[in-house]
Structure 1
């Protein structure tokens, strides 16, 4: 029996949620198609939303040579591939889950529950909540990326709620807003009947653009309302939470956002590389069919409303990293222990020695061509190629053209 290599190529798995992009417009699908030796073919009439390439069972990464799932390989060779640090701290699986997302229309207004709540939900309904872990995540823009994330300043929110149709949601006796005021307002709006929601949206459209901008809201507010109404309905209360209470952001390629557990977010459009703690749990509050919405009291009570959800604390910078010997490597460091994300930017003819890490690495080339050497062998790197690199394995990258790689790693 051949020994298990510490460096090997993976194939990913695409899925087809209706919020994805159609056919070849989907970067997730185009990257998935690039992996040789698979039977994946893009259907121009199909929506492609995500490509997963971790060890989670839903849409597993696989060894390109053998077809074996990454989870099966890690189970057989956990000490060699995961390393002692990762096993001791996170168990016998990858502690992170990397993905490429191609977003054609808004995802649900959502949060990913904290560990304590995730454990309770998993025990109560394991079919819907398939694990007991939390799911903090980062998203790095690969194209222009629109999203709602975190909460606006309470002063801004309270001012717009002076519009007559919105005053009813302010708790009686409130003289100034605090976190619990906002929580009560969110709960009230998400429970509002369809006619009330529609009336508020029409009331908002009657406000002048000048007045809206004076309150600190973007001039695009009216276009965003129309767009979300066309994608879902004019009676979805999640639209009001996003528009009125959340930060509207547009990230350029390379810019990143961190969403903590219980942090509210709604991705609108664009292509991203995303990585999260190893979980697939979600609570939805809106911007989805009524049948898909979770209990509003549970959703509202779980919402994180504190300084970590302010816009300045959500943005995640890319800092120079000593992971690479020649200075081609940047690192995104979310305030969690499960992973960091590194970005390697190389020009043609350059090399980058990546120091061995104490835990495993999963990397994807999003553009360019070159080679990767490690564990006594050399593999071709091309756009869309995905690699697993074991703990404590040094690798050398060489770029034949300009090359960009993203990698989730335990450093």
Structure 2
């Protein structure tokens, strides 16, 4: 039998306490997946308040929400790593980033009730510059590309099986031009007739930069509010009054206006950006300097280790005024269909029993993995309860999201209920066994791994 009492200093497995983050856009009380996972994810001291918003669970070494050892909460994962970074991060990771001996990714659970700020994350060059010049805006000299994987239940009011919605990237230029032509309040909010006319007649990336800058700048100055409210009133009056809008646009204007009345973000998202709706298990990849705003749902999120973010709407006015100029400067202004940001799921090469799928963005820092377990036959070997994951050269963090699971490596084992978090030291094969399925008969573990 494997040992179940583990010495963190020498064990291949370390049970972790993550950090919970409370932001206004998070789901409230027990409706939040982050809150439901918290008793095991952040520890038994977590006390649920049904009136509070619980937005995220963080798993990693970032200073704004560092993980600690579950049984000795005064000890951080980072402090353990510093005792032997070559072993605990893996030689390939330690050699690649010798000056930053930390987990190279930040792994999260998000539970979203309303739109996040309209945001983008600086690339590495801008992150380094901002950290030197404006450290209040950028605490990290790193980039922050990220992926999001839908893991929640279907959302009410959406098409069947849709469990996540959001705005990602700019629509194709011709679609944006059509919206500018059709929606008078949008043109009035931009208040630059020459820029609008030029873009409508000859859509271009440079033209997009001009009209989007005019819109968000007027929003930061409070000059767009009346125009947003005027369109919201038209939508409220009903179908005959909503000339120039299709049904989805009218629904989005109504929804986002209810959350952020009069906010320029209503225009900046609905008429400029792709609306993305994901089923469970589907994913998107958002590179550095790409505009996005998540709307609703429960997701796995992973990113290069950074907490840099610049906001331009759906945030406090004083924050917007400070950040909009840099936000507009940094965007790529990539204008493509929503499919451009889709991240395909693939079989995981190190899944020895074929129960694990991989979401592999074009990055060195991480791959996200989803292991699905269920009683009965399945996978290689015919047992759907078990999985084996081959050893990798970098660190791995896993969280149980469904059922009760045993994770074993190198003669040690941890029995983890929903919310349980484990750190796997590089170089260890991992065995995963479903001990007890959830109410739907499933077991599930999500992992972030640096497959060095």
Q: TM-score range by the shorter chain?
A: over 0.9
Q: 1:96 aligns with which of 87, 100, 105?
A: 105
Q: Where does residue 64 of structure 1 map in the other structure? A: 70
SS of alignment partner, residue 295 of structure 1: helix
Name the structure 2 match of 1:343.
370
Within the alignment, does 1:328 sit opposite 2:335 as a pair? Answer: no
Determine if contact 1:232/1:288 at 8 Å carries over to the other structure.
no
1:100·1:271 contact (CA, 8 Å) conserved in 2?
Answer: yes
Question: Displacement of 1:203 after TM fit?
Answer: 4.2
- Residue in structure 2 matched with residue 138 of structure 1 by the alignment: 147
Secondary structure of residue in 2 paired with 1:161: helix
Paired residues for 1:240-251 under 5 Å = 240-251=267-278
Matched, 1:355 2:390: yes
**Residue 276 in structure 1 maps to residue 276 in structure 2:** no
What is the aligned partner in structure 1 of residue 216 from structure 2?
A: 190
Output one character per residue of 1:17-68: Cα deviation in whole Å (capped at 9) or x when no partner.
1111111111101111134853111111211111111111111111112221
Instruction: Provide the C-alpha distance between the structure 2 equivalents of 1:2 and 1:315, rounded to a whole number of angstroms.
Output: 38
Conserved 8 A contact 1:212-1:219: no
How far, CA to CA, are the matches of 1:37 and 1:196 in structure 2?
45
Q: Which moved more, 1:396-405 or 1:161-170?
A: 161-170
Taking the TM superposition and a 5 Å limit, the aligned residue runs for 1:140-159 are 140-143=149-152, 144-159=163-178
The answer to whether the 8 A contact 1:205-1:222 is kept is no
Q: Secondary structure at the match of 1:160?
A: helix
State the match for 1:110 in structure 2.
119
- The verdict on how the C-alpha distance between 1:397 and 1:312 changes in structure 2, with shifts beyond 3 A counting, is same
Question: Is 1:39 aligned with 2:74?
Answer: no
* 8 A contact 2:186–2:227 mirrored in 1: no
Distance in 1 (CA, whole Å) between partners of 2:241 and 2:353 is: 52
| Aligned residues of 2:275 and 2:338 also touching (Cα < 8 A) | no
Q: Does the 8 Å CA contact 1:53/1:97 hold for their aligned counterparts?
A: yes
Q: Is 1:220 equivalent to 2:255 in the alignment?
A: no
Could you tell me how far 1:390 is from its partner in structure 2? Answer: 1.1
> Of residues 338, 341, 359 in structure 2, which corresponds to 1:314?
341
Q: Comparing 95-104 with 124-133, which one deviates more in the overlay?
A: 124-133
**1:380 matched to which residue of 2?**
415
1:370 & 1:408 partners in 2: Cα distance? 17
Is the Cα–Cα contact under 8 Å of residues 282 and 344 in structure 2 kept in the other structure?
yes
Bigger drift between 358-367 and 193-202 goes to 193-202
Which runs of 4 or more aligned residues in structure 1 lie more than 3 Å from their structure 2 counterparts after TM superposition? 35-38, 163-170, 172-175, 193-197, 203-213
Match of 1:19 among 20, 25, 31: 25
Query: How much does 1:322 deviate?
Result: 2.2
Deviation at 1:110, TM superposition (A): 0.2
- The change in CA–CA distance for 1:301 and 1:4 in structure 2 (over 3 A counts) is same
Q: Report how far residue 180 of structure 1 moved.
A: 1.3
Deviation of the 1:385 alpha carbon: 0.7
Is there any run of 5+ residues in structure 2 with no aligned partner, and where? 1-6, 153-162, 376-382
Deviation at 1:298, TM superposition (A): 1.8
Unaligned runs of 5+ in 1: none
Q: How far is the alpha carbon of 1:232 from its aligned partner?
A: 2.0
Q: TM-score, normalised by structure 2?
A: 0.85
- 2:142 alignment partner, SS class: coil
Matched with 1:129 is 138
Checking the alignment, whether the CA contact within 8 Å between 1:6 and 1:80 is kept in structure 2 is no
Between the aligned partners of 1:141 and 1:16, the Cα distance in structure 2 is 20
1:364 correspondence with 2:404: no
1:246-274, Cα deviation, whole Å (9 max, x unpaired) = 01112121111111000100011111111
Return the offset for 1:101: 0.8
Answer yes or no: is the 8 Å Cα contact 1:331–1:340 preserved in 2: yes
**Cα offset, 1:204, TM superposition:** 7.1
Shift of 1:149: 0.6
In structure 2, how many angstroms separate the alpha carbons of the residues matched to 1:34 and 1:266? 29
The Cα shift of 1:310 comes to 4.2
1:98 is displaced (CA, Å) by 0.4
After superposition, the CA RMSD in angstroms is 2.3
Q: How many residues align?
A: 407
Q: 1:118 to 1:209 in 2, by over 3 A?
A: farther
> Secondary structure at the residue paired with 1:32?
helix
**Offset, 1:3:** 4.2
* CA pair 45-180 structure 1, distance change in 2 beyond 3 A: same
